[in-house]
Amino acid sequence: MTATIEFQGVDFAYQPETPVLQQVSFQIPAGQTVALVGANGSGKSTIAKLMTGLLTADQGHIFLDQEEVTATTSSKLRQRIGLVFQNPDDQIVGATVAENTAFGLENRNVPRSVMQQRVRTALDQVGMWEYRDREPGLLSGGQKQRVALASALAVTPEVLILDEATSMLDPQAKSELNQIVKRLQQQTGLTIVLITHDLEMLGIAEQVVALDNHQVAFTGTPAVLFQQDQLLTQLQLELPFSLQVQRDFAAAGVPVPDHDLNEKELIQWLTKLL
């Protein structure tokens, strides 16, 4: 199962005099992976909360498939969305990893056997089944985030939102979580919203929606975004390392390939060049 998300002309402000979102419109097709980027404070987490009905738009409409997210529909629609937040420690409940993962299922009249199966599947998906009897508070940050992801997956959502889920992790843990998300993308057909500054994660996205100055400043592929230097600066994003090196060579007059190189391709090209 998977779902389309649509924002139509959404305005939102916490205080009337300081608008956060103005006329924000975008569409995320079912099954697509979209990165939502923008400087700190640009309204990305606000969008995640609007999608899940934790906040209500001042103007405009938000749809999950054909159903509008409103005060009356939000609690039902929220069950179709899995959320993972930034801070690993904010998402710990329960005495064991398995209990933590089952938490979202407890109030849903899911039969015990189904619940156990879902917990098993979800923990397998993030490589944490072996840790099922461990105390979540004692895990590493990366492991906690994998358990948070398992807890989101256990309720079998149609949409998965990761809100800066890798930003507090070390490079190794970041990379592992990225690999897991990549696998989910290939194996599940979930609609995935990646709120991120992490370029490796951005690279997984099929489309990017960029927020700037309360509005959508860009929609398109990561490759097209990487060509817009000024916008990248405004969004507090850097070019991927391999692309930066490629540009520096070009600027120095070295003939470079005409497509963007990833790190592996860059190494191959440099090896040949030398």
Ligand X SMILES: Nc1ncnc2c1ncn2[C@@H]1O[C@H](COP(=O)(O)OP(=O)(O)O)[C@@H](O)[C@H]1O
Q: What x-and-dash track marks residues 3-42 binding Mg ion by CB under 5 A?
A: ----------------------------------------
Q: List for the chain the helix, strand, coil content (%; round to 5).
A: 40, 25, 35
User: For ligand X, which is the closer residue by CB, 45 or 188?
Assistant: 45
User: For Mg ion, which is the closer residue by CB, 164 or 260?
Assistant: 164
- In angstroms, the CA 38 to CA 211 distance is 5
From the number of C-beta atoms within 10 Å of its C-beta (0-12, 13-18, 19+), residue 182 rates as middle
- In angstroms, the CA 266 to CA 177 distance is 24
User: Is position 46 an interface residue for Mg ion (rule: CB under 5 A)?
Assistant: no
User: For ligand X, which is the closer residue by CB, 21 or 155?
Assistant: 21
User: Is position 52 an interface residue for Mg ion (rule: CB under 5 A)?
Assistant: no
146 binds, among Mg ion, ligand X, none (CB under 5 to 8 A by kind): none
Helix 141-154 with 171-188: angle, nearest 10 deg: 20
Task: In angstroms, give the least distance from the CB of 42 to Mg ion.
Answer: 9
38 binds, among ligand X, Mg ion, none (CB under 5 to 8 A by kind): ligand X
Interface pick for Mg ion out of 45, 74, 91, 185 (rule CB under 5 A): 45
Residue 96 CA from chain centroid, whole number: 26
User: Is position 196 an interface residue for Mg ion (rule: CB under 5 A)?
Assistant: no
Cα separation values, 219 from 27, 89, 228, Å: 10, 33, 12
User: For ligand X, which is the closer residue by CB, 41 or 257?
Assistant: 41
Residues forming the site for ligand X (CB under 6 A)? 14, 20, 38, 40-46
Place of tokens 């002309």: 9
